Amino acid sequence: MANASAQVEAVHVGPWNQTPVLVTSTELLGQDGITVHVLHAPGDGSLAVALDGVAADADRALDDLNIYPDVRIPDPDGGEEQRVSGFQVPPEKFVWFRRALARAGAAGLMGFTGGGEPTAQYLTKRQGRRHFEGFTHAGTGIIQDVDVEIDGVTFVGTDHVFRLNGTRVEAFSGLAEDLFHHLRDGRVEQYRRDAHALRSSWRSTRFVDGWDGPVSLHEDGSIMAMSLLPEPRRRHRARQRV
């Protein structure tokens, strides 16, 4: 519990000494069973869509704010506040922080499907936007150039061929087509609404046909599918006698 509390305080969201989220710490006590400690915030657990009537529109570009990395502890006697190491997001920056998280998540999904430019649109300079702008190297210079249909669902992304313990393997990473189009065109809010509505259907999906290999589908609509590839025929050079 002490470790969990320390992590919450190192990255502090909101005013000092208020818990912004549910934090748990679990003890495995052998014959004595399991003990779960819970540190919770006030409220009914619902997530706010807007803050103080201001929409946190993740479709808008994110500003690079220079927030000083510290946590401010007010003096109980009204004196000068104390500053300790950490990172604090004050309430007036909640809208910005929510947008930062949403756009970073969108960048991660676009990077997962391949392609630098679609990823760069969601990043600021400090987040490494320049690394994804234009052609850089084989890993980030790839574009989303593969469509795969599995059990009637079309996914857009890219594939890689590599060797795993000497065996040739194809790995496809992508995103459900409609969700992919939202993020490619900068519609983060629409993506979040549609992805949330599809969560229950992804949970019940079982890919048993349409792909020869293991398939992993996340609730955000992203997919990783792998399959074995046949070994290519090799040409053997004729040995020359000396």
β-strand partners of 72: 83
Tokens linked to 165: 């313990």
- Domain layout of the chain by residue ranges: 96-228
**Structure confidence at residue 76 (pLDDT):** 86
The label of the residue with tokens 């997530």 reads 47
Residue 140's pLDDT band (boundaries 50, 70, 90)?
very low
Q: What is the mean pLDDT of the chain?
A: 80
Mean pLDDT, residues 50-74: 79
Pinpoint the alpha helices (H) of 133-213.
177-184, 188-197, 199-204
Residue 70 has pLDDT above 70, yes or no: yes
pTM of the full structure: 0.76
The residue with tokens 């549910």 is: 22
| pLDDT class of 174 with cuts at 50, 70, 90 | very high
Is the pLDDT at 142 greater than 60? The verdict is no
Distance of CA 140 to the CA centre of its chain: 17
Specify the pLDDT at position 191: 95
Instruction: Record the tokens describing residue 129, joined without a space.
Output: 């936007």
- Between 75 and 24, the more confident residue is 75
20/5 Cα distance (integer angstroms) = 12
- Confidence at 135, pLDDT banded by 50, 70, 90: low
Q: How confident is the model at residue 28 (pLDDT cuts 50, 70, 90)?
A: confident
pLDDT at position 139 is 47
